[in-house]
Amino acid sequence: MTEAPSPNNRDSGEQDQFLTILSREEAVRRFEAALFPRAAVREQRRLADALGGALADDVVAPLDVPPFDRSNVDGFAVRSVDLSSAGEGTPVRLVLNDEAIACGTAPAKAVLPGTATAIATGGPLPRGADAVVMVEHTQPASGSGIEVRRAVSPGQFVSYAGSDIARGETLLRAGTVIGSREVGILAACGIADVSVARRPRVAVISTGDELVQPGSPLRPAAIYDTNGAIITAAIDENGGDAVFLGAVPDDDAQLEAAMRRALLESDMLVVSGGTSKGAGDLSHRIVTRLGRPGIIAHGVALKPGKPLCLAVCDGKPVVILPGFPTSAMFTFHDMIVPVLRRMAGLPPRADAKVGAKVPVRIASELGRAEFVMVSLVEGRDGLIAYPTGKGSGAITSFAQADGFLRVDTLADHMPADTAADVTLFTPHVRAPDIVIIGSHCTGLDLVTTPLARAGLMVRTIAVGSLGGLAAARRGECDLAPIHLFDDKTETYNTPFLAEGLELLPGWRRMQGIVFCKGDRRFEGVNAQEAVRAALADSACIIVNRNQGAGTRILIDRLLAGARPEGYWNQPRSHNAVAAAVAQRRADWGMTIAPVAQAYGLGFIPLAEEHYDFALVTARKQRPAVQAFLDALATEEIRAALALAGFRRA
């Protein structure tokens, strides 16, 4: 586990596989040891351009603020002893000196016993005076004098020199990010130029023949380059100056040229993809040719993120992140951000943690520290952390999470109901106003739109109907959207309600057979005829649904025991069925009308599925739940649902 990677490989130019898998901590330790200490690169900035910069040095006050004893009010500078006997019945009369101290005027005359000098807010206290009386507490007296009917204490309404900022005081520490408040302190001290850490220039390269940049049309079998955009943004968020160099195909020569150029022009290089065992995975081999000492760690006992490769090439950090966006983001935040922040002169990021109970069992791989993204909701006795995981390929499991928890390297699972520490992605948890856990539907997004517009925070967690019901029974959500068909009673949803739950009718989703428009076997016939035609043609491939889905029950009934080609392809969602047919991986399947419509497929209606809500009665009176009920009842939402192909129950 702790053996160093073999140095000989560097010169052979090839380093094919994870030679040694390091623990996360050991990989970080070696990477940091190879990079630090290093001289901070600094630059001078005018105060007006300093916003967002990290101070390179401590700032020590060059002067006192205020620079002199200053009046806080409009009134008269006095000697407090003169007024020691002043009271309602015993006014004291003071003679006014013939000057008035305005803001910015240096006093010329001393305040002698028995006298006072008019002074404005911000004016410097004259010699002899030790307090100020507010003008409201005086009355003009005969001659050029004033009468005072209350005593004053020494120092009243005076800000002493240096009381705000004292000369020699350390005002701001190196590493502080300059915001408007820091700008204020610097300006008050008269500082016009500050020395800030120069943002490290970080080149970002995506690799893969399959990548297309957002904005361009997607070719078949291609995907959008997600990592390029997120890594670029995350670098800028953490004090770097990212330069995105685009996606490079899996071609050794092109990739090496791009990486060499990137390294010449920047302080750090972050590549994503091409770091695992695949035939087209080149990036880590190229790194071995880019400079010394080369690869520091390749393969970290970390999930997501095992294929992470850390290198230092002639003093510059080179990182190859795993290709899967969630793995790429997670390893970037966990292991690269600390290095980047240090190079950018920023203090380590403060990660806030909260305790939460995990209601479900989490399977984990033995021997790797596993990080699981979670969404937080408020339960009966404290926070509940729901794994958002859809696998390391899912961008949403990172983007929609509140934070993550760690399953120990030596555990093969985390049992349900474990109390865990959740590291937050944001400084604070904001508990959602309404929590909806269960089966997701695009219609649901329409209903929650007005809530979101009204400033309510809506949290929806897609765990399927049964998972939603379990959450509702445990009181972890307000509503559980479900579409469960009961074979015995041949009804939807109601038979599944437990005590404490009531049914809130949602909408109906027409289910039917989908096919590519123009397919003669399906065009213009009813469902039974379509199935007969499909079964009669041995080349006709079905895409099925997973066991337990209401749709699956319909399919099995229609098939009446037949097992056509494709039967064992059992995706878990309406969308996956439509995509399979639209991409001609299958000829037919069963999905809901709005999805068929969205994919431009032919549709033969068969039966309506009931999409309803199990409402937790005890939470019904909550304002956000009421807002949901109201939204569901409005004409506007009904119309929007109808337009999207849903029929209101």
Binding site for ligand AMP (CB under 6 A): 206, 208, 210-211, 223, 225-228, 272-276, 278, 281, 322-325
CB closest to ligand AMP, residue no: 323
- Could you tell me whether strands 309-313 and 369-379 are parallel, antiparallel, or unpaired per DSSP bridges? unpaired
- Tell the residue number behind the tokens 């729901």, with chain if given: 386
For residue 208, the minimal CB distance to ligand AMP (Å) is 5
- Residue 210: name its binding partner from ligand AMP, Mg ion, none (Cβ under 5 to 8 Å by kind): ligand AMP
- Residue 156: name its binding partner from ligand AMP, Mg ion, none (Cβ under 5 to 8 Å by kind): none
- Residue 71: name its binding partner from ligand AMP, Mg ion, none (Cβ under 5 to 8 Å by kind): none
DSSP single-letter state for residue 41: P
148-to-70, 80, 96, 288 alpha-carbon distances in Å: 21, 11, 12, 85
For residue 325, the minimal CB distance to ligand AMP (Å) is 5
For residue 270, the minimal CB distance to ligand AMP (Å) is 11
Core vs surface per residue 320-334: b (16+ CB within 10 A) or e: bbbbbbbbbbbbbbb
Of the two residues 322 and 571, which places its CB atom closer to Mg ion in the complex?
A: 322
Report the distance separating Cα 96 and Cα 160, nearest Å: 23
For residue 475, the minimal CB distance to Mg ion (Å) is 44
DSSP string across 263-320: HHH-SEEEEES--SSSTT--HHHHHTTSSSEEEEEE-BSEETTTT-EEEEETTEEEEE
Binding to Mg ion by CB under 5 A, coded x per residue (else -) over 305-324, reads: ------------------x-
Are the C-beta atoms of 345 and 196 separated by less than 8 Å?
A: yes
Residue 590, number of CB atoms within 10 A of its CB: 26
Of the two residues 162 and 323, which places its CB atom closer to ligand AMP in the complex?
A: 323
Where on the phi/psi map is residue 423: left (φ > 0), alpha (ψ -120 to 50), or beta? beta
Figure out which of the listed residues 107, 126, 175, 208 binds Mg ion, where binding follows CB under 5 A: 208
Using DSSP, state whether 244 is helix, strand or coil. strand
For residue 229, the minimal CB distance to ligand AMP (Å) is 9
Of the two residues 124 and 273, which places its CB atom closer to Mg ion in the complex?
A: 273
- Residue 227: name its binding partner from ligand AMP, Mg ion, none (Cβ under 5 to 8 Å by kind): ligand AMP
For residue 21, the minimal CB distance to ligand AMP (Å) is 17
- Residue 64: name its binding partner from Mg ion, ligand AMP, none (Cβ under 5 to 8 Å by kind): none
Of the two residues 231 and 346, which places its CB atom closer to ligand AMP in the complex?
A: 231
Report the distance separating Cα 104 and Cα 185, nearest Å: 20
- Residue 294: name its binding partner from ligand AMP, Mg ion, none (Cβ under 5 to 8 Å by kind): none
* Segment interacting with Mg ion, rule: CB under 5 A, options 204-212, 578-586, 619-627, 635-643: 204-212
- Residue 276: name its binding partner from Mg ion, ligand AMP, none (Cβ under 5 to 8 Å by kind): ligand AMP
223-to-331, 395, 464 alpha-carbon distances in Å: 21, 12, 26
What residues form DSSP beta bridges with 241?
201
What residues form DSSP beta bridges with 140?
146
Of the two residues 300 and 510, which places its CB atom closer to ligand AMP in the complex?
A: 300
157-to-69, 81, 85, 198, 361 alpha-carbon distances in Å: 10, 15, 19, 44, 65
Of the two residues 274 and 566, which places its CB atom closer to ligand AMP in the complex?
A: 274
For residue 226, the minimal CB distance to Mg ion (Å) is 13
Core vs surface per residue 605-632: b (16+ CB within 10 A) or e: ebbbbbbbbbbbeebeeeebbebbeebb
Using DSSP, state whether 384 is helix, strand or coil. strand
Cα angle value 497/554/487 (rounded, 5°):
40
Check residue 325 for interaction with Mg ion (CB under 5 A). Answer: no
- Residue 228: name its binding partner from Mg ion, ligand AMP, none (Cβ under 5 to 8 Å by kind): ligand AMP
For residue 207, the minimal CB distance to Mg ion (Å) is 6
For residue 206, the minimal CB distance to Mg ion (Å) is 9
For residue 249, the minimal CB distance to ligand AMP (Å) is 11
Number of residues that bind Mg ion (CB under 5 A): 4
Check residue 228 for interaction with Mg ion (CB under 5 A). Answer: no
DSSP single-letter state for residue 77: E
Residue 209, number of CB atoms within 10 A of its CB: 12
* Segment interacting with Mg ion, rule: CB under 5 A, options 61-69, 193-201, 271-279, 516-524: 271-279
* Segment interacting with Mg ion, rule: CB under 5 A, options 23-31, 200-208, 450-458, 628-636: 200-208
Are the C-beta atoms of 388 and 461 separated by less than 8 Å?
A: yes
Of the two residues 279 and 536, which places its CB atom closer to ligand AMP in the complex?
A: 279
Of the two residues 322 and 432, which places its CB atom closer to Mg ion in the complex?
A: 322
Of the two residues 395 and 559, which places its CB atom closer to ligand AMP in the complex?
A: 395
Are the C-beta atoms of 248 and 205 separated by less than 8 Å?
A: yes
- Residue 286: name its binding partner from Mg ion, ligand AMP, none (Cβ under 5 to 8 Å by kind): none
**Burial grade of 603 (CB within 10 A; 0-12, 13-18, 19 or more):** buried
Of the two residues 308 and 615, which places its CB atom closer to ligand AMP in the complex?
A: 308
For residue 314, the minimal CB distance to ligand AMP (Å) is 25
For residue 538, the minimal CB distance to ligand AMP (Å) is 33
For residue 16, the minimal CB distance to ligand AMP (Å) is 15
Are the C-beta atoms of 98 and 144 separated by less than 8 Å?
A: yes
Check residue 273 for interaction with Mg ion (CB under 5 A). Answer: yes
Residues that bind Mg ion (CB under 5 A): 208, 273-274, 323
